[in-house]
Amino acid sequence: MLTQFLSPWLSWLPTDWQYLVITTLGVLIILLPVVISVAYLTYFERKVIGYMQVRIGPNRVGPLGLLQPFADVFKLLFKEIITPKLANSFIFYLAPVLILVASFVAWAVIPFDKGWVLANVNAGLLYVLAIGAAGVYGVILAGWASNSKYALLGGMRSAAHKVAYELAMGFALVGVLMVAKSLNLSQIVENQAGGLFHWYWLPLLPMFVVYFVSGVAETNRAPFDISEGESEIVAGFHVEYSGITFALFMLAEYASMILISALTAILFLGGWLSPFEGTFLHAAFAWVPGIVWFFIKIAVLLFLFLWFRATFPRYRYDQIMRLGWKIFIPVTILWIFVEGVMVYFRVGPWFA
């Protein structure tokens, strides 16, 4: 879409350069809103948890505290960055960048509306999975490079639980793939057309639950935030980080929360599709652009993240491992088998 709009203006450039300019613009158009959403997600989180705990939350900086995220960002920007004396300084600074890159690059394949996607690749689902797998490195390296026992322990156990939940997530994605018969995210959304009860959350209900809960675990959010575990290991892998390097970890954590919500919305909740398709309300809501539905779905899922944090106590480490290996993975394997049987006997909605 961007290509059609910009091509006449850039026709004086060689084709390769046109491609570069348009892609760079597309990246900026996606990432700047992501970063701003991260800022306001932190504000929203503090407000939501505040009200859940019968407090008001931030309300001093700007009207209703709306400028609070900027105050936080500037505070962190101007704080001194302390490098531990015995830290491996190159890897120490590489780690937050790696985490950030992993939570940003997956946005390339996210379709925001019909045709609104930066890279409409065929293997989009696999790409998302591979990028998620690469995200573990930042945590391990941050833990190791800090040269601190708390950080190393935090990094180690975080990596172990991320690897465990990645498997469950991967199996849940296999379930989606079997029903959608495509790895292309836009195609997966289009295959869910037909209203609320045609989306994949219903035929793939166990997968939906496993995927979202694993997503919460994958982003190190409560109740799975043992990589921080301040009651046991101070702050886990980022205990030695200060100022803007610490802010990068937080930025990456919130960006991957938004990413997981977006992916859940695409894979199980019909992406940009309207929930009223096929009902009498469809005509009444036909004017709403698809991207609005998509954002509403993301916002609802993000609210769940915050709700979990305000509600559940932190899991014990052995219970996290048990949930991942002994419950989630068997559930997903069982459901893949059920889907296989359904597809073999051509039973809808699994066999579309």
Partner 1 sequence: MTLYQFLFYVFASSAVLSAIRVISVKNPVHAALFLVLTFFSTALVWILMEAEFLGIVLLLVYVGAVMVLFLFVVMMLDINLAPLREGFVRNLPVGVFVALVMVIELGLVVGAHSFGLSAYPAPTPAPADAANTLALGSVLYTDFVYPFEIAAFILLVSIVAAIVLAHRKREGVLYQNIDAQVRVRRADRLRIVSMPASKPVTAAEESEGKPS
Interacting residues toward partner 1 by CB under 8 A? 16, 19-20, 88, 91, 121-123, 126-127, 129-130, 132-134, 136-137, 140-141, 144, 152, 156, 159, 163, 166, 183, 318-319, 322
Closer to partner 1 by CB, 252 or 320: give it.
Answer: 320
* Least distance CB 276 / partner 1 (angstroms): 31
Of 136 and 298, which CB lies nearer to partner 1 in the complex structure?
136
C-beta of 88 vs 242, nearer to partner 1: 88
CB of 134 to partner 1, least distance (A): 6
Q: How far is the CB of 196 from partner 1 (least distance, A)?
A: 29
How far, CA to CA in Å, does 287 sit from each of 61, 253, 272, 284, 292? Answer: 37, 34, 13, 7, 10
Least CB distance from residue 282 to partner 1, whole Å?
A: 30
**Choice between 140 and 233, CB closer to partner 1:** 140
Name the residue nearer to partner 1 (CB basis): 62 or 115.
115
Q: What minimum distance in Å lies between the beta carbon of 17 and partner 1?
A: 8
Looking at the Cβ atoms of 94 and 310, the one nearer to partner 1 is 94
In whole angstroms, the minimum distance from the beta carbon of 123 to partner 1 comes to 5
